[in-house]
Each structure stands twice: as C-alpha cells, then as structure tokens.
C-alpha cells in the first residue's frame, strides 16, 4: 500500500467504491466518471504505478482478471464489445496501474482513440521508428 494513493485506499477499504470484482490479486470497481455505465477500473492490490512496473508474478493474474471482467461487462451491460485501456504516466489521473474496461456498442459515439492521428512522413520515417523500437525491445529482452 502507498499512503496517499486513492486506489490503495479503495483496495484497503479506507475509501468507498462500488466493487464489482475482488480476488487475492485485484480489485475492480465502477469508475466514478464513466464514459458509459458499466465502465470499470481494475487495479492490482499491490501498489504498482505503471504497466512496466508490474512484476512478472502479477502479469498473468491481472490480465486473467481483465479478460474475465471484459466478458462480464459485455454480458451484464448487453454490450457488443469492450474497450480496454491503460494509461502510463500521461493521462494517468491516479499513479496506480489501472485498466479501464468500458462497454462498447456500434455507433456509441466513442471514436477510436481520443487524440488526432499523426502519420509517418514517408516509408523511411516508418522504418526509422521501427528500427528504434526493435533496438529498444532487444535492450529490454537483454535486461539493459
């Protein structure tokens, strides 16, 4: 637990929330400012700020719960699908990893991503970006 973290306070029961899923690894609750009714936030019980900080021991249980919650939201809300989102640092209103699980329907007014798309300048720019990403992935795999 992290003192001062609103989501840690929800997990510990210090702050109220409408809990919809709770197990030994995660807690999920209704977002207090939903995009649509049924919009949930799933948080690991352990204080983790961003997805890169999530320990290997939590990846499987957290994403198993995300998958379960996605099915439950779709069924309970009679939705056609769900939108799953994680913000890391930017647009992360609470610095505790949380996964948004949002019910979706065709023509519900939510248009893809919430920001403008910026295309690559040309094929060379695309390849330059891809090469930087491949190098970073290789460094991450090697532990650098």
Q: Tell me which of 39, 96, 98, 100 is the catalytic residue.
A: 98
Return all residues near 83 (Cβ < 8 A) that are at least 6 apart: 100, 101, 102, 104, 110
Distance of CA 53 to the CA centre of its chain: 13
- Annotated active-site residue 47? The verdict is no
Question: What Å distances lie between residue 11 and 23, 89, 124, 135, CA to CA?
Answer: 11, 21, 48, 38
C-alpha distances out from residue 87 to 15, 90, 94, Å: 22, 6, 10
Active-site positions read 98
């Amino acid at each position: 637990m992290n003192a001062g973290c609103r989501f840690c306070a929800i997990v510990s029961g210090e702050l109220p929330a409408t809990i919809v899923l709770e197990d030994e690894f995660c807690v999920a609750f209704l977002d207090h400012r939903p995009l649509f009714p049924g919009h949930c936030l799933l948080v690991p019980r352990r204080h983790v700020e961003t997805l890169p900080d999530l320990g290997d021991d939590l990846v499987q249980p957290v994403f198993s719960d995300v998958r379960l919650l996605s099915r439950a939201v779709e069924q309970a809300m009679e939705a056609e699908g769900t939108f799953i989102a994680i913000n890391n640092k930017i647009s992360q209103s609470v610095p505790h990893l949380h996964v948004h699980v949002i019910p979706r329907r065709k023509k519900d007014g939510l248009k893809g991503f919430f920001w403008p798309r910026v295309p690559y300048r040309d094929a060379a720019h695309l390849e330059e970006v891809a090469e930087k990403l491949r190098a970073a992935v290789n460094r991450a795999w090697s532990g650098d």
